[in-house]
Amino acid sequence: MRPKLLAAAVLVFFATFFAPFQKADARMNVVVYPAWGCMGDPTGMYLGLGLVGGRVASDSLTYESEGVSGFDFTLGYRFVEQFSFDLSIVGANEYLPVKPTSNIYYPGDSAEFSVLYLGVKADLFPMSETGWTPWLGFGFAFPFLSWRNYWYSQDGSAPYLAVGLDQELGRGFFLRGRYSAFRSGMTDFYGYESPDLTFSAFSLSIMYEFGRGQWEE
């Protein structure tokens, strides 16, 4: 994952959702609460870790289409009960074989593959009442291919769509299944256009939401 892109995304996320906010009580005294897990309301920060399996297709790959497996890390914020913001990082656990490049020549190699997702999701039901909910998500995906033996990479950006299901497990934990897909134009390290990349994947993650245990009771 390109370090500057990841650092910027995390910085924006924390600056937006983790700055403390102010609330006045009945006596007009100002009380400061953190934005996550506040006062038992069904809003707050959540995070999760899971496994992902999917398929990458690109003319940059030796076999044009490769199955991938890896990890999925998610950091999110539920700003109202049925709507939330997600930042997810997907990383493959194996290098993908790639062809020799064309614009600026590099021989065949293998490449690390990862994707950064920034988006929003909408729950169909309030999980605090039903204990489970299907959901829809959309946003932007930023795929990244980094050659293993040469100083060369390709990256891109594209809208993505996702569907999923959250199932309450209790004590702030819930299970998330997610399917997402996108097709992205790619640009190489030198600014030349590269073959498009298509990625579709399913992930299964264990999530934990801070403050959820309070408003479940």
Neighbouring-strand partners of residue 111 = 96, 147
Alpha helices by DSSP H, listed for the chain, are 3-17, 127-130, 212-216
- Rounded CA-CA distance 173/162 in Å is 21
Among left, alpha and beta (phi > 0; psi -120 to 50; other), residue 191 is: left
- pLDDT 10s digits, 71-122: 999 999 998 889 999 999 999 999 999 999 988 888 999 999 999 999 999 9
pLDDT value at residue 55: 96
> Which pair of tokens denotes residue 86?
């997600």
pLDDT value at residue 71: 96
In order of 97, 100, 110, 135, 156, the CA distances from 86 in angstroms are 30, 36, 30, 13, 19
Which pairs count as long-range contacts for 6-14, CB under 8 Å and 24+ apart, including other chains?
6/89, 6/116, 9/87, 9/116, 9/118, 10/75, 10/87, 13/75, 13/77, 13/85, 13/87
pLDDT category of residue 128 using cuts at 50, 70 and 90: confident
Q: Among the ranges 10-24, 25-39, 198-212, which has the highest mean pLDDT value?
A: 198-212
- The pLDDT of residue 155 is above 50: yes
